[in-house]
Protein backbone atom coordinates (compact mmCIF):
# COMPACT_ATOMS: atom_id res chain seq x y z
CA UNK A 1 0.00 0.00 0.00
CA UNK A 2 1.00 3.66 -0.32
CA UNK A 3 0.46 6.42 2.21
CA UNK A 4 1.18 10.12 2.57
CA UNK A 5 2.08 9.91 6.25
CA UNK A 6 0.41 9.77 9.65
CA UNK A 7 -0.32 12.31 12.38
CA UNK A 8 -2.01 12.35 15.78
CA UNK A 9 -4.78 14.96 15.94
CA UNK A 10 -7.58 16.14 18.21
CA UNK A 11 -9.40 17.81 15.29
CA UNK A 12 -10.25 15.07 12.81
CA UNK A 13 -12.75 13.15 14.96
CA UNK A 14 -14.86 15.44 17.11
CA UNK A 15 -14.26 14.88 20.82
CA UNK A 16 -11.61 12.21 20.27
CA UNK A 17 -7.85 11.98 19.95
CA UNK A 18 -7.13 10.12 16.73
CA UNK A 19 -4.35 8.67 14.65
CA UNK A 20 -4.84 10.00 11.11
CA UNK A 21 -3.53 7.89 8.23
CA UNK A 22 -3.37 9.59 4.83
CA UNK A 23 -3.80 6.94 2.15
CA UNK A 24 -2.33 7.94 -1.20
CA UNK A 25 -3.91 7.97 -4.67
CA UNK A 26 -7.14 9.55 -5.90
CA UNK A 27 -8.95 9.35 -9.26
CA UNK A 28 -10.22 12.94 -8.98
CA UNK A 29 -8.39 16.19 -9.67
CA UNK A 30 -10.35 18.79 -7.76
CA UNK A 31 -8.82 22.22 -8.44
CA UNK A 32 -8.75 23.18 -4.74
CA UNK A 33 -7.20 19.92 -3.51
CA UNK A 34 -4.65 20.60 -0.77
CA UNK A 35 -3.10 17.11 -0.77
CA UNK A 36 -2.08 17.10 -4.41
CA UNK A 37 1.34 15.62 -3.62
CA UNK A 38 -0.24 12.21 -2.90
CA UNK A 39 -2.77 12.05 -5.76
CA UNK A 40 -0.54 9.80 -7.88
CA UNK A 41 1.04 7.80 -5.09
CA UNK A 42 2.92 7.92 -1.83
CA UNK A 43 5.38 6.10 0.37
CA UNK A 44 5.28 2.29 0.03
CA UNK A 45 4.22 0.83 3.38
CA UNK A 46 3.15 -2.59 4.58
CA UNK A 47 0.05 -3.32 6.61
CA UNK A 48 2.30 -4.65 9.36
CA UNK A 49 4.00 -1.24 9.57
CA UNK A 50 0.62 0.47 9.83
CA UNK A 51 -0.51 -1.96 12.54
CA UNK A 52 2.67 -1.20 14.50
CA UNK A 53 1.98 2.55 14.29
CA UNK A 54 -1.52 1.91 15.62
CA UNK A 55 -0.14 -0.35 18.39
CA UNK A 56 2.40 2.31 19.38
CA UNK A 57 -0.36 4.94 19.56
CA UNK A 58 -3.16 2.92 21.14
CA UNK A 59 -2.56 4.10 24.71
CA UNK A 60 -3.27 7.74 23.88
CA UNK A 61 -5.78 7.65 21.02
CA UNK A 62 -9.49 6.93 20.89
CA UNK A 63 -9.89 6.55 17.13
CA UNK A 64 -8.23 5.88 13.79
CA UNK A 65 -9.10 8.24 10.94
CA UNK A 66 -8.39 7.25 7.34
CA UNK A 67 -8.10 10.20 4.98
CA UNK A 68 -6.47 10.80 1.63
CA UNK A 69 -6.14 10.97 -1.21
CA UNK A 70 -9.11 8.68 -1.60
CA UNK A 71 -8.96 5.74 0.87
CA UNK A 72 -11.34 3.59 -1.18
CA UNK A 73 -8.78 3.34 -4.00
CA UNK A 74 -6.82 0.91 -1.80
CA UNK A 75 -9.94 -0.92 -0.66
CA UNK A 76 -8.33 -4.17 0.55
CA UNK A 77 -5.79 -2.39 2.73
CA UNK A 78 -8.44 0.02 4.01
CA UNK A 79 -10.63 -2.88 5.09
CA UNK A 80 -7.79 -4.55 7.00
CA UNK A 81 -6.88 -1.32 8.81
CA UNK A 82 -10.51 -0.77 9.82
CA UNK A 83 -10.86 -4.34 11.06
CA UNK A 84 -7.64 -4.11 13.04
CA UNK A 85 -8.61 -0.78 14.60
CA UNK A 86 -12.01 -2.12 15.64
CA UNK A 87 -10.37 -5.23 17.16
CA UNK A 88 -8.47 -2.90 19.51
CA UNK A 89 -11.67 -1.15 20.59
CA UNK A 90 -10.91 2.04 18.66
CA UNK A 91 -13.50 4.16 16.89
CA UNK A 92 -13.03 4.52 13.13
CA UNK A 93 -13.62 7.35 10.70
CA UNK A 94 -13.16 7.51 6.92
CA UNK A 95 -12.98 10.64 4.76
CA UNK A 96 -14.09 9.97 1.18
CA UNK A 97 -15.18 11.61 -2.05
CA UNK A 98 -17.81 8.83 -2.27
CA UNK A 99 -17.02 7.99 -5.88
CA UNK A 100 -16.96 4.22 -5.17
CA UNK A 101 -20.38 3.28 -3.74
CA UNK A 102 -19.84 -0.49 -4.16
CA UNK A 103 -16.53 -0.34 -2.32
CA UNK A 104 -18.06 1.82 0.39
CA UNK A 105 -20.73 -0.79 0.99
CA UNK A 106 -17.98 -3.39 1.52
CA UNK A 107 -16.38 -1.50 4.43
CA UNK A 108 -19.26 0.47 5.94
CA UNK A 109 -19.94 -1.98 8.78
CA UNK A 110 -16.47 -1.20 10.13
CA UNK A 111 -16.90 2.59 10.04
CA UNK A 112 -18.30 4.54 12.99
CA UNK A 113 -18.03 7.97 11.35
CA UNK A 114 -18.14 8.65 7.62
CA UNK A 115 -17.32 12.07 6.17
CA UNK A 116 -18.35 12.55 2.53
CA UNK A 117 -17.02 15.50 0.56
CA UNK A 118 -19.94 16.77 -1.51
CA UNK A 119 -18.04 18.86 -3.99
CA UNK A 120 -20.95 20.33 -5.98
CA UNK A 121 -24.62 19.89 -6.82
CA UNK A 122 -24.91 16.43 -8.38
CA UNK A 123 -25.57 17.85 -11.86
CA UNK A 124 -22.42 20.03 -11.74
CA UNK A 125 -19.88 17.38 -10.79
CA UNK A 126 -18.43 16.95 -14.27
CA UNK A 127 -18.11 20.70 -14.69
CA UNK A 128 -16.25 21.22 -11.43
CA UNK A 129 -14.29 17.96 -11.03
CA UNK A 130 -14.03 16.77 -14.67
CA UNK A 131 -15.69 13.49 -13.63
CA UNK A 132 -19.38 12.74 -14.02
CA UNK A 133 -19.78 11.04 -10.64
CA UNK A 134 -22.73 12.93 -9.17
CA UNK A 135 -24.98 9.86 -9.22
CA UNK A 136 -22.27 7.75 -7.57
CA UNK A 137 -21.98 10.27 -4.74
CA UNK A 138 -25.75 10.35 -4.39
CA UNK A 139 -25.80 6.54 -4.22
CA UNK A 140 -23.04 6.51 -1.59
CA UNK A 141 -24.99 8.92 0.60
CA UNK A 142 -28.02 6.66 0.39
CA UNK A 143 -25.94 3.59 1.27
CA UNK A 144 -24.54 5.42 4.30
CA UNK A 145 -27.99 6.56 5.42
CA UNK A 146 -29.22 2.97 5.22
CA UNK A 147 -26.60 1.98 7.79
CA UNK A 148 -27.95 3.40 11.05
CA UNK A 149 -24.79 2.49 12.98
CA UNK A 150 -22.63 4.93 10.99
CA UNK A 151 -22.70 8.67 11.68
CA UNK A 152 -22.73 10.56 8.37
CA UNK A 153 -21.23 13.99 7.88
CA UNK A 154 -21.51 15.64 4.48
CA UNK A 155 -19.23 18.60 3.89
CA UNK A 156 -18.62 21.11 1.16
CA UNK A 157 -15.64 23.37 0.65
CA UNK A 158 -17.08 26.73 -0.39
CA UNK A 159 -14.83 28.07 -3.16
CA UNK A 160 -15.89 31.53 -4.41
CA UNK A 161 -16.09 31.56 -8.20
CA UNK A 162 -16.62 27.80 -8.39
CA UNK A 163 -19.69 27.69 -6.14
CA UNK A 164 -22.28 30.28 -5.15
CA UNK A 165 -25.09 30.48 -2.60
CA UNK A 166 -27.58 28.84 -4.96
CA UNK A 167 -25.24 25.87 -5.43
CA UNK A 168 -25.05 25.36 -1.67
CA UNK A 169 -28.83 25.60 -1.38
CA UNK A 170 -29.17 23.01 -4.13
CA UNK A 171 -26.76 20.68 -2.33
CA UNK A 172 -28.77 21.14 0.88
CA UNK A 173 -31.89 20.06 -1.01
CA UNK A 174 -30.18 17.01 -2.51
CA UNK A 175 -28.51 15.42 0.50
CA UNK A 176 -29.55 13.82 3.79
CA UNK A 177 -27.07 13.41 6.65
CA UNK A 178 -26.51 13.73 10.40
CA UNK A 179 -24.32 16.82 10.02
CA UNK A 180 -23.58 19.22 7.16
CA UNK A 181 -20.37 21.23 7.32
CA UNK A 182 -19.44 24.24 5.22
CA UNK A 183 -15.67 24.47 5.00
CA UNK A 184 -13.81 27.67 4.25
CA UNK A 185 -11.68 27.50 1.11
CA UNK A 186 -8.02 28.24 1.73
CA UNK A 187 -5.84 29.30 -1.19
CA UNK A 188 -2.62 27.71 0.06
CA UNK A 189 -1.15 24.57 -1.55
CA UNK A 190 -3.96 24.11 -4.12
CA UNK A 191 -3.78 21.91 -7.21
CA UNK A 192 -4.96 24.66 -9.58
CA UNK A 193 -2.50 27.53 -9.16
CA UNK A 194 -5.05 30.04 -10.49
CA UNK A 195 -6.99 29.57 -7.24
CA UNK A 196 -4.07 31.04 -5.30
CA UNK A 197 -5.49 34.46 -6.24
CA UNK A 198 -8.98 33.63 -4.93
CA UNK A 199 -9.65 35.07 -1.49
CA UNK A 200 -10.98 32.81 1.25
CA UNK A 201 -14.64 33.49 2.00
CA UNK A 202 -15.29 35.65 5.04
CA UNK A 203 -16.54 33.69 8.09
CA UNK A 204 -19.50 36.09 8.27
CA UNK A 205 -20.53 35.10 4.73
CA UNK A 206 -20.34 31.42 5.68
CA UNK A 207 -22.51 32.06 8.73
CA UNK A 208 -25.09 33.83 6.60
CA UNK A 209 -25.03 30.98 4.10
CA UNK A 210 -25.33 28.38 6.86
CA UNK A 211 -28.37 30.15 8.27
CA UNK A 212 -29.91 30.27 4.78
CA UNK A 213 -29.65 26.50 4.33
CA UNK A 214 -30.54 25.47 7.90
CA UNK A 215 -34.31 25.26 7.22
CA UNK A 216 -33.67 23.52 3.89
CA UNK A 217 -31.49 20.68 5.08
CA UNK A 218 -33.28 20.21 8.41
CA UNK A 219 -30.20 18.87 10.21
CA UNK A 220 -27.28 20.20 12.23
CA UNK A 221 -25.14 22.68 10.28
CA UNK A 222 -21.58 23.65 11.12
CA UNK A 223 -19.03 26.00 9.58
CA UNK A 224 -15.27 25.50 9.71
CA UNK A 225 -12.92 28.46 9.27
CA UNK A 226 -9.28 29.22 9.92
CA UNK A 227 -10.25 32.22 12.04
CA UNK A 228 -12.70 30.57 14.45
CA UNK A 229 -12.37 26.81 13.98
CA UNK A 230 -15.65 24.86 14.09
CA UNK A 231 -18.89 26.67 14.91
CA UNK A 232 -22.33 25.08 15.14
CA UNK A 233 -25.15 27.15 13.64
Residue 131 has pLDDT above 90, yes or no: no
Provide the number of structural domains found in the chain. Answer: 1
- Span 7-37, pLDDT tens digits: 999 999 989 999 999 999 999 888 888 887 8
CATH at 166 = 3.20.20.70
- Would you state the pLDDT for residue 43? 96
Pairing verdict, β 2-13 and 16-23: antiparallel
Closest CA to 54 of 30, 19, 96: 19
| DSSP-assigned states of every residue in 146-195 | H-TTSEEEEEEEE-BTTB-HHHHHHHHHH---SEEEEEEP--SS-SSGGG
Range of the domain at 98: 2-232
Residue 115 has pLDDT above 90, yes or no: yes
Mean pLDDT estimate for the chain:
94
Question: Residue range 104-127: average pLDDT?
Answer: 96
Amino acid sequence: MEIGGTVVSSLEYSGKMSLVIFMAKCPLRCPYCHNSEILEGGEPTTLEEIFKIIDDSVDYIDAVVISGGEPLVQIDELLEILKYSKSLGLKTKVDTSACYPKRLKKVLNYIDYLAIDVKAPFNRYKELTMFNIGNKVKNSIQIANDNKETFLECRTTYVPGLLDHEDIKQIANEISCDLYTLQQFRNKNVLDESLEDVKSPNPIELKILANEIQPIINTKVKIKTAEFGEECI
